[in-house]
């Protein structure tokens, strides 16, 4: 029964794509005595890296268009750039849907 219910769920999320470096933590395994070897050192970039933020939603049989987010996405921007122009028309095209927003 749960499989039929999940077919009506639409999941959404946003993601930042960094163009110069990874903007999250990076884990490195080193052996004892290798800490300062050049092959084990990763130089970091301290300035703001160029990148883009994108948003998308997926359902069982379809997906929303990919939306490029300019700048920071706040509640007003989410409603005006994503929810009204993309999410509402997408949900209206589905017979039954449960909209699952990630609440970030």
- Beta-sheet pairing, 98-100 with 9-18: parallel
pLDDT per position as a tens digit, 1-32: 777 778 888 898 888 887 766 656 666 677 88
Identify the pLDDT of residue 49.
67
- Give the mean model confidence (pLDDT) for residues 91-104: 79
Identify the pLDDT of residue 72.
79
Q: Is the pLDDT of residue 104 over 60?
A: no
pTM over 0.95: no
Identify the pLDDT of residue 94.
83
Instruction: Please report, to the nearest 10 degrees, the dihedral formed by the alpha carbons of residues 16, 52, 49, 39 taken in order.
Output: 60
Provide the pLDDT confidence category of residue 66 given band limits of 50, 70 and 90: very high
103/91 Cα distance (integer angstroms): 18
């Amino acid at each position: 029964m749960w499989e039929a219910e999940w077919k009506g769920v639409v999941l959404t999320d946003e993601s930042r794509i960094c163009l110069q470096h990874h903007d999250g933590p990076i884990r490195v395994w080193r052996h004892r005595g290798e800490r300062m070897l050049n092959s084990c050192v990763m130089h970091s970039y301290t300035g703001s890296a160029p990148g883009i933020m994108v948003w998308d939603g997926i359902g069982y049989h379809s997906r929303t268009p990919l939306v490029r987010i300019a700048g920071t996405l706040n509640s007003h921007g989410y409603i005006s750039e994503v929810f009204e122009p993309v999410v509402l028309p997408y949900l209206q095209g589905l017979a039954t849907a449960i909209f699952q927003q990630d609440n970030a």
